[in-house]
Homo-oligomer: A and B are copies of this chain.
Amino acid sequence: MTIKDIAEKSGVSVSTVSRVLNDHPDVSEANRARVMAVVRELHYVPNSSARDLVRPQPDAIGLVVRGVGNPFYTAVIRAIEQAVRAAGYTLVLHQIHTEDNEVPAAASLARAKKLRGLILLGGCFDYTPERIAALDVPFVCCSFTNSFGTLERTAYSSVSIDDQAEARRAVAHLIERGHRRIAILLDSTCDHSISQLRYRGYCQALEEAGIPLDRELVEETSDFDMAAAYSGTARLLKRRPDLTGLFAISDSMAVAAMKALHDGGKRVPEDCSVIAIDGIDISAYMIPTLTTLIQPQEELGEKAVRLLLDLIEGTGENRQLRLQAALREGGSVRAV
């Protein structure tokens, strides 16, 4: 049985049958119903089915988001979804918690959904060849890269800012304005991840300015959420009320820190300057406006999709892209 038989029996043209079978939008409801009734009646299986069974689905790309509810990801996810759709693919979304491991999650998603490729939004910076062996489709790390891992540069793709360099720049911004007792609010100093890279940038800026590292000014919250950032800042303030500057490794942590500083009787920026990295929309509406290094969220998403499509379609190799953050000077930093 061929597509011609279907066309004949349903009284429409061959091209209409083809459009129906390929889910083309440009076909009337009546014709679609007529064709599908015949397909159903005759149990017609198009030629491509045998191939479809063993090939990946032609159009599905997986997005594994690690760190549900991170507001920084909102604009990145939006950009990824739009770029994937514009390229004619479908996005399958899978969100996991920060403490979960994205690699097995991605590998099992790719297999179960026969994905063509994967974008990992948030993840570990320390992949090994053994660890990623389970990923048998192309993948792109978005917003992070393999800084602590052992992968060859030909073995993975990523698009991210240079976390260490941007953190150094943020802290240097405070140092240039006369600050010496600068605290850092972060998840962990040794997570082999974004937190550790930004901590390195903090240490580097201090060292370059000849300021000794003071462990009491390092507040590890063990969590990226605002509640943890709030209570961490409160502890920090109790321990070192003499701090004059604070570098929070994310905008949302900075927002919570500003609240904790306020509740602890410190004015921003009169008593304590605050700077961060991210540039989520809402940070422009804080009072005072948060001074931050804005990550190019749309560009991160678009470039990740572009890299992945090049890998899927064989038009590009694995690459690691670095994007620049842009300083927004708000009102949360002053010279001392």
Contacts and interface: CB of A to CB of B under 8 A. Distances in A.
A43 to B, nearest CB: 4
A108 B45 CA distance: 23
A45 to B, nearest CB: 5
A113 B81 CA distance: 15
A256 B81 CA distance: 27
Contact of A93 (B23, B40, B91, B259): B91
Contact of A282 (B91, B93, B282): B282
Contacts of A90: 92, 112-113
Interface in A284-306: 284-287, 289
Nearest to A133: B29
Contact of A256 (B112, B226, B285): B285
A82 interface: yes
A113 B89 CA distance: 11
A39 B29 CA distance: 36
Interface in A235-289: 252, 255-256, 258-259, 262, 281-282, 284-287, 289
A43 B49 CA distance: 9
A194 B90 CA distance: 30
| Complex copy number for this chain | 2
Contact of A39 (B53, B63, B85, B93): B53
Nearest to A84: B93
A259 B230 contact: no
A78 B50 contact: no
A321 interface: no
Contacts of A51: 43
Contact of A71 (B81, B282, B289): B282
Interface of A: 23, 25, 29, 36, 39-40, 43-46, 49-51, 53-54, 63, 68-69, 71, 74-75, 78, 81-82, 85, 90-95, 108, 111-114, 134, 226, 230, 252, 255-256, 258-259, 262, 281-282, 284-287, 289
20 contacts: A23-B112, A29-B134, A43-B50, A44-B50, A45-B45, A45-B50, A49-B53, A69-B75, A69-B78, A69-B281, A71-B71, A71-B282, A74-B74, A81-B95, A90-B112, A93-B93, A255-B282, A258-B287, A259-B285, A259-B287
